[in-house]
Chain A
Amino acid sequence: MISAPDVVAFTKEDEYEEEPYNEPALPEEYSVPLFPFASQGTNPWSKLSGAKFSRDFILISEFSEQVGPQPLLTIPNDTKVFGTFDLNYFSLRIMSVDYQASFVGHPPGSAYPKLNFVEDSKVVLGDSKEGAFAYVHHLTLYDLEARGFVRPFCMAYISADQHKIMQQFQELSTEFSKASECLKTGNRKAFAGELEKKLKDLDYTRTVLHTETEIQKKANDKGFYSSQAIEKANELASVEKSIIEHQDLLKQIRSYPHRKLKGSDLCSREMERIQDQPDQAATTSNPDESVDTDLFTCRPSYTPKLIKAKSTKCFDKKLKTLEELCDTEYFTQTLAQLRHIEHMFRGDLCYLLTSQIDRALLKQQHVTNFLFEDLVEVSDRVVEKQKSSPPQPCQDRPLSRSLEECPIPQVLISIGSYKSSVESVLIKMEQELGDQEYKEVEVTELSSFDAQENLDYLDLDMKGSISSGESIEVLGTEKSTSVLSKSDSQASLTVPLSPQVVRSKAVSYRTISEDSIEVLSTCPSEALIPDDFKASYPSAINEEESYAGDSEGAIHFQASISPPVLDEAEEGSLENTPSQTDSSCCIGKESDSLGVPPSTPVHTLSDEDGVVSSPPQHYRQKDQGFPVDLAVENAHPSQDNTSEGFPAYELDPSRLLASRDVSKSSLDNYSDTTSYVSSVASTSSDRTPSSAHPAGPSSERHQKRAGQNALKFIRQYPFAHPAIYSLLSGRTLVVLGEDEAIVRKLVTALSIFVPNYSRSVKPVKHWVSSPLHIMDFQKWKLIGLQRVASPASAGTLHSLSRYSRYTSILDLDNKTLRCPLYRGTLVPRLADHRTQIKRGSTYYLHVQSMLTQLCSKAFLYTFCHHLHLPAHDKETEELVASRQASFLKLNLGLVNEDVKVVQYLAELLKLHYMQESHGTSHPTLRKEPSWRMKPVHGGV
């Protein structure tokens, strides 16, 4: 093996990467038989062997009232993906799991048709024959022309990896709920529009009939009515009845609790827009009036048609397509969301889990993560933060909060079932917080009564908007819910049990092997789900509740395992979800086979180190130095043991994640390098969860290329260390060269080492051709500068030499670097030219982990109270300074110039922290920190 860096430097990256796969042929006797499925382009991690499709996909099916279950579309919409997989058969399967049949028009005993705001149900099922496992999300859309006004649909995430479905259940559920919510919102809008049209038609019909009747009356003064007249009168009566029915429907659809939708970010803007309209309607005292005004204000262009007396329910009519059902705009949004889901869950389960953990950990480091994390991710995080914070001032919050934090699980359970079944009673509960438990009992008891009575009761409370549980008969569901919770949950929950026990009771797992369908777990209604688990279910109706509960439930769960509750603001659901899903959805067998212990936030940076192949002594040294975990110091100590299982991750993550898409790499747009690598890139791009929106430049692919080029730079240039040191210590590095492409490439590569000022600015300028000015140095920390041969460049060089004390100059053409001397130990670890890392993305991860470690040092240094403030009044500044120095040296183990790096990062942290808390009070100044000058010690 050639290990001389100079030689390595000139090997082309791609060839180098190919090496492991083009090993010289071994003698026959030594050769290991190839992996049987190697022909499919898979590797031993792949579990695709039995499946008839090549990678995960999303299927949308409908239970058509005319033709039965039928597949509508798949995402990605490529026949290569699902291959020979029988979509029709699978549609039948997934539609048949929906235990709740659609609910038909007139419930017994009710005068008018009632709309159900039906819960989505979420089911996991497996088909061992097809080798497919699916998360199935059922939802119901309204269609005026459909039977019972409802059209059942389902969205299924189909994967060959059972564990993936089980472990990602919660995430899948969250994401699909978003998609479903989007569809349903659009559908409600469309349905309301449809109703309005219908009402106009009816109104018109009534007028026409009325005049006809009048004419007949006048024409016929004999004193008795002809059969014709009677018929007309009947017709008129039926039209009027129909009008009332439709008005009632419209009222119902309008009275849908819109405030609960606000948590959904996907289509919030549109929602708000349409929300205005129903809100108006809701506030008006007379709903009929509002309907009328709507009729004439909103849709003036519509010309009413005469409706024939006989309402024809013919089967040859064409049902509306999904797109028509839910408004094109929403439909496309939903598709985008689904594509996002597909993207998000691409790749190996291990990879998904690690990246989730990774993200969760990053989220915890909210003080430091702006420094080196990608801005896309960070901004995403900001969005999340915003998303999580607004519900705080909302009215329902104190209630739900206090309830969910209540230590007795029984209460939580009952509230959950209550909410899920009768959603708007919650409003009433707010007022009567004290006796809500009593109320709950009352309702469940009531629900066992006669239907009419119950409905009356509900009517009383909800002023006509009835939304019930999830299935055919309102009462039936209510009853079953209460029965279930009584028989199952309540019995067990009178004694506070550990969540695991509750979960195992709640989860049903049965295998019907004859049928070749295994229903692994059904979570049809929230009543079945234990409290802590349910909390992270964004259900269709209780959107706000579930968003609020999202973190609450997670925290609660966390608290029940490890008493010290973590910082709840930072504890999104994400870091808990792996463990939660792991233990809740999977039975023991799966979690064992996976070999991944319940992941908790305890394993932090040190675990990430496992990914890189750096000499081990560094870690040891570091561990002795100081504990690396930042925000999780107070995590339960007993979990430290579990985190030791993580060396399993020492495997190159790109190997793991490459499994699924290898054969499908051609699907991806990226094909400039080897297909293997490109598949890695595409698979792993779910690190940026916002990829459903137009993907920014800072994609995984971008990171990978940056990593690759950085690796090249490190191998090629002996002065890589001082150059990186310059960047880390805040000294502007100017990359001078003639060729724009080369300069840009290097600047991109080096940009991974540049600490950001804030979340919004990346202080990197890829290409400048005009002479630099002092403002440039203040703004940018890494600049690509054009070298011009003409005399006009005199100015460029002049300004460079004038401001040379603020810059390090890397001359690409002459291969020289002018910069301060570096003698630390940090950068050699970060950028070892003899590193065994071969892939850009791996190296990028290595850099990220090292930098995170560095950030944590800076964090400690910044926030150690005694280091910066004098202990008493008489203490001199020198004493404080010496204390700082000794801390940096002894506690953080920094030598020589490394100290300056940490000090610089600490200054950035201070500025950023103050800027964040200041808000916008210093808009002019604090956008970028004041520029620090560094005296030069020598040049290279």
Chain B
Amino acid sequence: MVIPWTLPKRRDERVDRDLFSCRKQSVTFSWIDWIQMAPVPRVTLARQLDSSLEASVGQCQHIYSVAKVMPSVYDHMGEWKEHSEVFLDSADLWHSGPEREGIRVLCSLLNSMRRHPLLELEPNNKSPLQTIGEEQTQNPYTELLVLRAHRDIVRFLVQLDDCRFASAGDDGIVVVWNAQTGEKLLELSGHTQKITAIITFPPLEACEEKNQLILTASADKTVIVWDCDTGRQVRKVSCFHSTVKCLTILQRLDVWLSGGSDLCVWNRRLALLCKTSHLSDTGVSALIEIPKNCVVAAVGKELIIFKLVAPTEGSLEWNILEVKRLLDHQDNILSLVNVNDLSFVSGSHVGELIIWDVSDWTVQACERNFCTQLDTQQEIKLYQKPNDISIHHFTWDEENVFAAVGRGLYVYNLQMKRVIACQKTAHDSSVLHIARLPNRQLISCSEDGSVRIWELREKQQLAAEPVPTGFFNMWGFGRVNKQASQPVKKQQENTTPCSLELIGDLIGHSSSVEMFLYFEDHGLVTCSADHLIILWKNGERESGLRSLKLFQKLEENGDLYLTV
């Protein structure tokens, strides 16, 4: 069913197109149902327009130019590039005059594009998405609490201590919450544009100031240090030339780094210690610390290793030196994490997962074949989109790296150097964030608005199943899903020793779930593009806690005689 894009006539008229994602190699756009019932088209004009859509390059440019004149379009839009994202503010839809006209044009263009045979595909309908009934005995989260303070997409959650967390998003405010009660503790406002990075700055042991600090970077090209106990704005730096997209803290040296179009090193008092030369226009997309005072920055397709020179007796100057560039990725690097003391891992837009050695920066292992794992010929044809295999996020434990690849989840074993379990269509659309829970569980959240809980289980029937010995099988008829040309994949298919079992899902958000935060004691916090934060609680545990509190209260009030 194709529903044409239409503009609502009045502000109160509600257009419901609940997260419709139509994904093609080239164009992604989704219609987000906001909490205020304000539909906002989010248009991603992707970089590669395939031949069948050549005509729409012009259209995309048109859309882009339309979008650009709108006042509320974010300023980080540069010139038209092959891969650009356009965010339209909901307010645009009710503008009169040129903006509304522009939006109208946009809608008609989108409609025309959607009528393209390849685009009319509804991926959701044909995906073998694993589902789970509503009886989820292993899902402990039976209570939820909706927290509402943000006025735009909430993109970041950061844990402050055992019972507090902060949220930040496109509305430029940071909100500090109590994770137990859901109480809004503080609202920190100082940024004029959306927040692009947030990080906690743990207090120094020696320092008498024990207040927890957080650093936020914003598209308004500032970084603010907040005291999140008092809500005070401690310091503000506004001498950046570009938006800071990532922040990292080197606690050992008590400095922090900001990554934009260049890399800057700052001390606690926000004095600029040193900076690199201009790296790239797109800027540093990810930044991690590795031993020997080095940092790895992901810039476009490259990983650049920088060495930080702390002041010594010889020189009082800080310095940052480029040590090495790693060029193994074929495409933009989207994710970069430290896995353990020995290695770090990076993932790219085209599904390359590379594990690097932290000491000599060599490739330990590489996994590139996620894209070929799609099951049928048919689907390959329909789903050949790099978007679907971009690696958005990693998490890890001692043995495994868990990767969010496109819509799927993969478990890569570091010892065996191969994928030991996978769930190719874990969600309806891209998985944005994953995290590992204690007991071999994994949580993932996705653009489709759902959060799912998975458990990594050993496959029991593995021994009983005869392992195909390869060669004939490779050419075997009837097994269309086995690609002859990909023995690696075949091997994986047959020998993944583990499986990811869906044990529960959390439905609550009406739009893309951007991130979540797991609290050991208080449950799960999710944030979403629908402006909401949801606190998911273990119902039984909460019930017990409430009883405990109740009896405490009774005792305090001296009402216990009621129960005698």
B462 CB within 8 Å of chain A: no
Please tell me if the beta carbons of A792 and B507 are within 8 angstroms of each other in the complex: no
| Contact (A910, B134) CB under 8 Å given A865-B551, A931-B144 | no
Distance from A919 Cβ to chain B, minimum over Cβ atoms (Å): 12
**Docked-complex contact B16 and A771, CB < 8 angstroms:** yes
Contact partner of A774 (CB less than 8 A), chosen from B181, B508, B551, B563, is B508
Please tell me which stretch of A644-652, A683-691, A796-804 contacts chain B, meaning at least 4 of its Cβ atoms lie within 8 angstroms of it.
A796-804
- Whether A792 touches B135, Cβ cut-off 8 Å, given contacts A805-B507, A925-B145, A925-B182, is no
B136 lies within 8 A of chain A by Cβ: yes
Kindly provide the distance from the CB of B55 to the nearest chain A CB, expressed in whole angstroms: 29
Q: Are A795 and B16 in contact (CB under 8 A)?
A: yes
| Chain B positions within 8 Å of A881 at CB level | 540
Question: Which residues of the partner chain A approach B543 to less than 8 Å between Cβ atoms?
Answer: 903, 906-907, 910
Q: Which A residues lie within 8 Å of B142 (CB)?
A: 932-934
Using an 8 Å CB-CB cutoff, how does the interface string of B502-534 with A read, 1 for contact, 0 for none? 000001111000000000000000000000101
Q: Which of these, A774, A803, A914, A932, contacts B146 with CB under 8 Å?
A: A774
Residue pair B546, A907 in contact (C-beta under 8 Å): yes
Min CB distance A929 to B, Å, is 9
Residues of A within 8 A of B183 (CB): 922, 924-925
Residue contact B507 to A803, C-beta cutoff 8 Å:
yes
How far is B177's CA from A922's CA once the two chains are assembled, in angstroms? 13
Given contacts A367-B562, A771-B14, contact A869 B144 (CB under 8 A): no
* B447 at interface by CB-CB < 8 Å: no
A771 CA to B562 CA, complexed, in Å: 45
Q: Do the beta carbons of A914 and B33 come within 8 Å of each other?
A: no
Q: Which residues of A contact B540 (CB under 8 A)?
A: 881
Which B residue sits closest to A802, measured CB to CB? B507
On whether A931 and B143 interact (CB within 8 A), knowing A367-B562, A771-B14, A864-B563, the answer reads yes
Give the complex CA separation of A903 and B547 in angstroms. 12
Closest residue of chain A to B6 (Cβ to Cβ) is: A792
Task: Please give, as numbers and ranges, the residues of chain B lying within 8 Å of A773 by CB-CB distance.
Answer: 35, 37, 510
Within 8 Å of chain B (Cβ to Cβ): is A242?
A: no
Which residues from chain B contact A804 at a C-beta distance below 8 Å? Answer: 134
In the assembled complex, the CB of A774 is this many whole angstroms from the nearest CB of chain B, namely 5
Provide the residues of chain A in CB contact with B16, threshold 8 Å.
Answer: 771, 792, 794-796, 798-799
Q: A799 touching B18 by the CB < 8 A rule?
A: yes
Most chain B CB atoms below 10 A, which of A367, A631, A911, A935: A935
Contact of A778 among B134, B146, B507, B537 (CB under 8 A): B146
- Are A914 and B563 closer than 8 Å at their CB atoms? no
Name which residue of chain A comes closest to B145, CB basis: A930
B548 CB to nearest chain A CB (Å): 7
Q: How far is the CA of A775 from the CA of B141 in the complex (A)?
A: 17
Task: Determine whether the beta carbon of A774 is less than 8 Å from that of B546.
Answer: no
Q: How far is the CA of A803 from the CA of B505 in the complex (A)?
A: 12
Q: Closest B-chain residue to A793, C-beta based?
A: B16
Determine the interface band of chain B, counting residues with CB < 8 A from chain A.
35 or more
Report yes or no: B542 in contact with A868, Cβ–Cβ below 8 A: no
Does residue A936 face the partner (Cβ distance < 8 Å to B)?
A: yes
Which B residues lie within 8 Å of A917 (CB)? 553, 556-557
Contacts of A868 in B (CB 8 A): 544, 547-548, 550-551
Q: Which residues of A contact B236 (CB under 8 A)?
A: none
Indicate whether A932 sits within 8 Å of B539 (C-beta atoms), given known contacts A862-B550, A865-B551, A910-B550: yes
- Which residues does chain A contribute within 8 Å of B181, judged by CB atoms? 922, 925
Q: Assess the A930–B143 pair: CB atoms within 8 A.
A: yes
| Candidate in A774, A794, A932, A934 with the most chain B CB atoms within 10 angstroms | A774
Within residues 123 to 151 of chain B, which ones have a CB less than 8 A from any CB in chain A?
Answer: 133-136, 141-146, 148
A631–B508 alpha-carbon span in the complex (Å): 41
- The answer to whether B184 and A799 touch across the interface, beta carbons within 8 angstroms, is no
**How many interface contacts (CB-CB < 8 Å) are there between A and B?**
123
- Residues in chain B near residue A45, CB distance under 8 A: none
Distance in angstroms from B152 CB to nearest chain A CB is 17
Take A791-B3, A930-B537 as given contacts and tell me if A775 and B134 are in contact as well, using a CB distance cutoff of 8 Å: no
CB-CB under 8 A for A795 and B14, given A770-B37, A932-B539: yes
Would A795 and B544 count as touching, CB distance under 8 A? no
A930:B144 contact, CB within 8 angstroms:
yes
Smallest CB gap from A906: residue in B: B543
> B549 at interface (Cβ–Cβ under 8 A)?
yes
| A935 close to B136 (CB less than 8 A) | yes
Question: How far is it, in angstroms, between the C-alpha of A795 and the C-alpha of B31 when the chains are bound?
Answer: 12
Question: A457 near B: Cβ within 8 Å?
Answer: no
Is the pair A795, B17 in contact by a Cβ cutoff of 8 Å?
Answer: yes
Contacts of A774 in B (CB 8 A): 146, 508-510, 532, 534
Evaluate contact between A933 and B146: CB separation under 8 angstroms. Answer: no
The listed residue with most A CB atoms (<10 A of its CB), out of B16, B184, B549, is B16
Q: How far is the CA of A877 from the CA of B549 in the complex (A)?
A: 17
A863 at the interface (CB under 8 A from B): yes
With A794-B3, A907-B546 known to touch, is A935 a contact of B134 (CB < 8 Å)? yes
A693 within 8 A of B: no
B511 smallest CB distance to A (angstroms): 11
Q: Which one of A864, A907, A913, A931 lies within 8 Å of B145 (CB-CB)?
A: A931
| A589 adjacent to chain B (CB < 8 Å) | no
Measured between beta carbons, the chain A residues less than 8 angstroms from B535 are 930
Query: Whose C-beta in chain A lies nearest to the C-beta of B542?
Result: A930
| B18:A798 contact, CB within 8 angstroms | yes
In the assembled complex, the Cα of A245 lies from the Cα of B279 at a distance in Å of 100
Contact with A along B3-35 (1 / 0, CB 8 A): 100000000001111100000000000000101
- Distance, CA A393 to CA B124, complexed state (A): 68
Contacts of A911 in B (CB 8 A): 546
- Give the distance in Å from the alpha carbon of A937 to the alpha carbon of B540 in the complex: 19
A937: chain B residues within 8 A (beta carbon): 135
In residues 237-279 of chain B, which contact A (Cβ within 8 Å)?
Answer: none
- Which chain B residue shows the least CB distance to A910? B546
> Once the chains bind, are B548 and A869 in contact (CB under 8 Å)?
yes
Contact of B134 among A798, A805, A932 (CB under 8 A): A805
Q: Are B18 and A795 in contact (CB under 8 A)?
A: yes
Contacting residues, chain A, for B184 (C-beta < 8 A):
924
- How long is the Cα–Cα vector from A937 to B137 in the complex, in angstroms? 12
Nearest-Cβ distance from residue A360 to partner chain B, whole angstroms: 18
Instruction: Kindly provide the distance from the CB of A807 to the nearest chain B CB, expressed in whole angstroms.
Output: 11
CA distance A711 to B464 in the complex (A): 61
Residues A910 and B547 in contact, CB atoms below 8 Å apart: yes
CB distance from A416 to the nearest CB of B (A): 32
Known: A798-B18, A914-B546. A936 touches B182 (CB 8 A): no
List chain B residues, Cβ under 8 A from A862.
547, 550
Find residues 893-917 in chain A having any chain B CB closer than 8 Å to their own CB. Answer: 903, 906-907, 910-911, 913-914, 917
Question: How close is B227's CB to chain A, nearest CB, in angstroms?
Answer: 22
Residues of A near B510 (CB, < 8 A) are 773-774, 799, 802
Q: Are B144 and A775 in contact (CB under 8 A)?
A: no
> Which of B148, B184, B550, B554 has the most C-beta atoms of chain A within 10 angstroms of its own C-beta?
B550
- For residue A930, which residues in chain B have a CB less than 8 angstroms away from its CB? 143-145, 182, 535, 537, 542
In the complex the two chains form, what is the Cα distance from A792 to B16 in whole Å? 7
> How distant is the Cα of A152 from the Cα of B553 in the complex, in angstroms?
55
| Residue of B37, B134, B507, B551 with most chain A CB atoms under a 10 A cut-off | B134
How distant is the Cα of A770 from the Cα of B144 in the complex, in angstroms? 23
With A775-B148, A778-B146, A799-B18 given, is the CB distance from A863 to B563 under 8 Å?
yes
10 interchain residue pairs of minimum CB distance: A795-B16, A868-B547, A936-B134, A910-B546, A935-B135, A805-B134, A930-B145, A935-B134, A863-B563, A930-B143
Q: A799-B510, A910-B550 are in contact. List 4 more A-B contacts (CB 8 A).
A: A774-B532, A798-B16, A913-B550, A924-B182
Query: Can you list 24 A-B pairs, Cβ within 8 angstroms, ordered by A?
Result: A774-B534, A775-B146, A778-B145, A794-B16, A795-B18, A798-B18, A799-B16, A799-B18, A803-B507, A805-B507, A862-B547, A863-B562, A868-B550, A877-B544, A880-B544, A903-B543, A910-B550, A914-B550, A931-B144, A932-B539, A935-B133, A935-B135, A936-B134, A937-B135
Interface positions of B (Cβ within 8 A of A): 3, 14-18, 33, 35, 37, 133-136, 141-146, 148, 181-184, 507-510, 532, 534-535, 537, 539-540, 542-544, 546-551, 553-554, 556-557, 562-563
